[in-house]
């Protein structure tokens, strides 16, 4: 789709997931063994034929730059268009350090203004799914909408999306108001915070909002213009997860162990791509026993692993038992240790004969680089 540019907005609330986002944005939290959260939205955009993609950060971009590099894994290392990382402009004389994403967009207005595409797709990174944006853009054009918001109708399954914006839609598909998922109704139309509109309208919203001073965030600006703009909803049908809390991150990781969820999320409407690393395959010794788990390359497994996501280069020594847990890259679990319902960040070292256990609804989190 040569007429559509993609913008990934990393202005995300990380308060409920801060245990694993001290050193990285939510976008680069490892997931599924060898992927990062941002891989899903990046791949969805690329699979739809979008070749001009920018990532608007809120700082903490070192791990992001390390992961995406030149954009080669997503075929975005191009002479024309390609992948752009745009950081906030910091004014040392300005005591207000956080002014919302509209200020960040304004500071990079020329990039948006002089891009060749007529339409723009804006999305966060933390809603992970496998979506066909070509169909969404076609719907947007045919509906005659000023703005199209992608949503998913969640029936009797709202707990993971508590507090998320919910669209109230009339019989013609028009968004008439926007509230929040309070968890007390049978269903909610959960906003996936994915917006389609013409680039010129996007530029007008940025300029008008900052001139009037009525909004600091894009979604706030859109919500305030429901009476004057034709805003429609586009229904997405498929698996959706929201990586905005430790609990949601843990449950989504456990979902990935379901083969049907995994096939849909990683392959159904196009493959999910990630940064490749030249590492050997995982090594399993005769003493190892692994069941219902994802084990990334470079691992050495000598112990027992059940219902786990094991990241790259992890070592689980003989006699160690790991169940219902997420073990990130380069962590080591020594002989005789027992881990259950836990999230171990990168480079964690569990010494011999330790027992660490959390609860499925409150998993234990061990921060990056900790030795116990």
Q: Are residues 134 and 29 located together in one domain of the fold?
A: yes
| Whole-number Å distance between alpha carbons of 325 and 363 | 8
pLDDT, the chain, mean? 92
Q: Does 36 share its domain with 154? A: yes
Q: Is residue 228 part of a domain?
A: yes
CATH number of 89's domain: 3.90.550.10
| Residue 335 belongs to a domain | yes
* pLDDT tens profile 100-147: 889 889 999 999 999 999 999 999 999 999 999 999 999 999 999 999
Residue 87 forms part of a structural domain: yes
Residues 294 and 251 placed together within one structural domain of the fold: no
- 273 within a domain of the structure (yes/no): no
pLDDT value for 93: 54
252 domain residue, yes or no: yes
Same domain as 246, residue 320: no
Residues 228 and 119 in one domain: yes
List of residues 6+ apart from 335 with CB closer than 8 A: 317, 318, 319, 320, 352, 353
Residue 219 located in a structural domain = yes
Of 214, 238, 268, at which residue does a domain stop? 268
- 256-303, pLDDT tens digit by residue? 999 999 999 999 999 999 998 888 999 999 999 999 999 999 999 999
Residue 138 maps to a domain: yes
pLDDT at 96: 46
Name the domain count of the chain. Answer: 2
> Do 158 and 288 share a structural domain?
no
Q: What are phi and psi of 211, to 5 degrees?
A: -70, -45
Same structural domain, 245 and 303: no
Contact 29, 21 (CB under 8 A): yes
CATH number at residue 360: 2.160.10.10
Is the C-alpha dihedral spanning 115, 121, 126, 132 positive or negative?
negative
DSSP symbol at 133: H
**Domain containing 113: what range?**
4-268
pLDDT in tens, 240-256: 999 999 999 999 999 99
Single out the residue of 303, 257, 253, 300 nearest to residue 279, CA to CA.
Answer: 300
Full-model pTM: 0.93
Q: Which of 242, 268, 294 is the last residue of a domain?
A: 268
């Amino acid at each position: 789709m040569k007429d559509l540019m993609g913008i990934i907005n990393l202005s995300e609330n990380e308060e409920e997931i801060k245990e694993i986002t001290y050193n990285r944005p939510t976008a680069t939290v490892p997931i599924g063994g060898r992927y990062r959260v941002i891989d899903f939205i990046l791949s969805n955009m690329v699979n739809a034929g979008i070749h001009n993609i920018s990532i608007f950060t809120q700082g903490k971009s070192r791990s992001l730059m390390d992961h995406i590099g030149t954009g080669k894994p997503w075929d975005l290392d191009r002479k024309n268009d390609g992948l752009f990382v745009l950081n906030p402009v910091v004014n040392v004389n300005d005591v207000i350090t956080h002014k919302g994403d509209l200020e960040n967009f304004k500071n990079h207005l020329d990039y948006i203004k002089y891009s060749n595409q007529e339409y723009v797709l804006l999305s966060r990174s933390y809603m992970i799914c496998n979506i066909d944006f070509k169909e969404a853009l076609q719907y947007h054009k045919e509906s005659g909408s000023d703005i199209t918001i992608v949503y998913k109708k969640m029936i009797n399954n709202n707990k993971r999306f508590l507090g998320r914006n919910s669209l109230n839609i009339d019989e013609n598909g028009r968004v008439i108001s926007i509230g929040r998922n309070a968890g007390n109704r049978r269903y909610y139309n959960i906003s996936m915070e994915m917006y389609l509109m013409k680039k010129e309208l996007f530029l007008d919203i940025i300029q008008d909002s900052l001139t009037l001073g009525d909004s600091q965030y894009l979604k706030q600006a859109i919500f305030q213009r429901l009476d004057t703009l034709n805003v429609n909803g586009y229904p997405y049908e498929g698996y959706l997860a929201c990586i905005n809390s430790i609990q949601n991150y843990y449950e989504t990781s456990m979902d990935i162990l379901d083969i049907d969820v995994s096939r849909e999320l990683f392959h159904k409407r196009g493959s999910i791509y990630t940064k490749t690393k030249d590492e050997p395959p995982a090594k399993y010794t005769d003493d190892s026993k692994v069941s219902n788990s994802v084990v990334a390359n470079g691992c050495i497994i000598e112990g027992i692993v059940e219902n786990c996501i094991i990241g790259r280069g992890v070592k689980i020594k003989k006699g160690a038992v790991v169940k219902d847990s997420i073990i990130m890259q380069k962590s080591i679990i020594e002989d005789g240790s027992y881990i259950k319902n836990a999230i171990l960040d990168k480079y964690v070292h569990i010494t011999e004969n330790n027992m660490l256990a959390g609860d499925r609804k409150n998993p234990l989190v061990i921060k990056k680089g900790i030795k116990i």
